[in-house]
């Protein structure tokens, strides 16, 4: 089933739980084995697979234990600058390296009442 943007929270949780269960079975793991690998209780995994609400950290731990952690980048992609922002900052990028400049030293030290 595809998760639609208009799906209810409950429907999304049920679908995610079902997918976790399917991946667990594809890895030939029992709930006890996966919960141990994820560092969560078996009851928490049961709730997660049943589509009940759990902490986000538990969800992340289960994804990692199922080798699905790389999918987190697709879940919420990193923001990218708009094309207009890219153009705006394009002129401000450095194009050359600058040399180290030596401070100018006066040829004669300055002193009070030195008006010559």
* DSSP state at residue 106: -
Count how many domains the chain has. 1
Share of residues in the chain with pLDDT > 70 (%): 86
Judge whether 61 lies within some domain.
yes
pLDDT for res 116? 56
Domain that holds residue 23: 9-75
Judge whether 86 lies within some domain.
no
Judge whether 92 lies within some domain.
no
Which stretches within 27-100 are classed as H helix? 31-38, 42-49, 56-65, 72-75, 83-90
Q: What is the CATH number of the domain that holds 59?
A: 1.10.260.40
Separation between Cα atoms, residue 103 and residue 77, nearest integer Å? 48
pLDDT at 48 over 70: yes
């Amino acid at each position: 089933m595809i998760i639609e943007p208009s799906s209810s929270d409950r429907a999304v949780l049920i679908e995610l739980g079902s997918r976790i269960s399917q991946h667990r079975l594809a890895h030939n793991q029992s709930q006890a084995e996966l919960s141990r690998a994820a560092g969560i209780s078996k009851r928490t995994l049961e709730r997660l697979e049943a589509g009940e609400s759990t902490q986000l950290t538990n969800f992340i731990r289960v994804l990692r234990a199922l080798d699905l952690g790389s999918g987190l980048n697709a879940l919420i992609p990193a923001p990218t600058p708009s094309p207009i922002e890219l153009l705006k900052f394009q002129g401000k990028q450095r194009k050359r390296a600058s040399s180290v400049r030596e401070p100018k030293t006066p040829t004669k030290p300055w002193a009070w009442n030195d008006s010559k």
